[in-house]
Amino acid sequence: MDIDELMRRLSELYPEDYPDGFQDPFFVLISTVMSHRTRDNVTYPSAKKLFEKFSTAEEMAEADVVEIEALIRDVGFYRVKTGRIKEISRILLEKHDGRVPDDMETLLELPGVGRKTANCVLAHAFLKDALAVDTHVHRISNRLGLVKTKVPEKTENELKKIFPQRYWKHINLLLVKLGQNVCRPISPRCGVCVLNDMCPKILL
């Protein structure tokens, strides 16, 4: 498959347009933790509402649990995520002077942070060459025949072998948008997909 052509088509279809706040590593970290099992159109309005009230690790650590829960109530598992937000904020204050770490190992030590979340922080907040694999990236990569993998961690490793490093930080954003709008888990819209002539698994 022509990787450069694939990225060209997706980049033209979905010009990079990061939500407000994506220049702030703390916002990226907390909003990505909030996004687990929650749609983006719910996550980001809730994250913006939360950060209008508490925008730093110190403010978040000192915030009342009930108040955070009320602000992010629309997010799935909001009580569990409130606990993680408080704990992450406490750890950042105690161990990292309130700053979000910019390396994978340290990020993975934070509660509720897996490789996908850590890679999102590294790619979007720190503009590092990190490749975040969520359910959309995993599904679409297998549908396109780029990989034959069972778990996202393996997908990440295989995609890094296929895509030049300069593309890594862009893959998540592009394939997530494709997965939300076209290459959906159920009833994918193959007939209107810009990659349909490249895809071996057209599901018309």
Instruction: Report the CATH number at residue 157.
Output: 1.10.1670.10
pLDDT digits (tens, 9 = 90+) for 103-151: 999 999 999 999 999 999 999 999 999 999 999 999 999 999 999 999 9
- Domain assignment present for 197: no
- 100 and 136 part of one domain: no
Give the structural domain span for 164.
3-16+131-192
As a whole number of angstroms, the distance between CA 50 and CA 184 comes to: 29
For residue 120, give the nearest of 191, 183, 40, 41 by alpha carbon. 40
Both 72 and 112 in one domain: the answer is: yes
pLDDT at position 11 over 90 = yes
For residue 60 the two structure tokens come to: 């978040």
Domain count for the chain: 2
pLDDT reading at 163 higher than 90: yes
CATH number at residue 84: 1.10.340.30
| 36 and 116 co-located in one domain | yes
Predicted confidence (pLDDT) per residue in 32-51, tens digit:
999 988 887 889 999 999 99
Q: What is the pLDDT of residue 21?
A: 54
SS3 track for the chain: CCHHHHHHHHHHHCCCCCCCCCCCHHHHHHHHHHCCCCCHHHHHHHHHHHHHHCCCHHHHHHCCHHHHHHHCCCCCCHHHHHHHHHHHHHHHHHHHCCCCCCCHHHHHCCCCCCHHHHHHHHHHHCCCCCCCCCHHHHHHHHHCCCCCCCCHHHHHHHHHHHCCHHHHHHHHHHHHHHHHHCCCCCCCCHHHCCCCCCCCCCCC
Note the pLDDT tens digit of each residue in 71-104: 999 999 999 999 999 999 999 999 999 999 999 9
> Which positions are annotated as active-site residues?
116, 134
- Residues 108, 33, single domain; the answer is yes
Mean model confidence pLDDT for the chain: 92
What local confidence, expressed as pLDDT, does residue 38 receive? Answer: 84
As a whole-number percent, the residues of the chain with pLDDT over 90 amount to: 86
Q: Is 120 annotated as a binding residue?
A: no
Residues 153 and 186 reside in one and the same domain = yes
pTM of the model: 0.88
Question: Domain boundary residue among 98, 125, 152?
Answer: 125
∠ at Cα 59 (43, 88), nearest 5°? 60
The answer on 89 and 179 residing in a single domain is: no
CA dihedral for 61, 107, 149, 123, sign (positive or negative):
positive
Confidence of residue 17 (pLDDT cuts 50, 70, 90): low
pLDDT, residue 204, reads 45
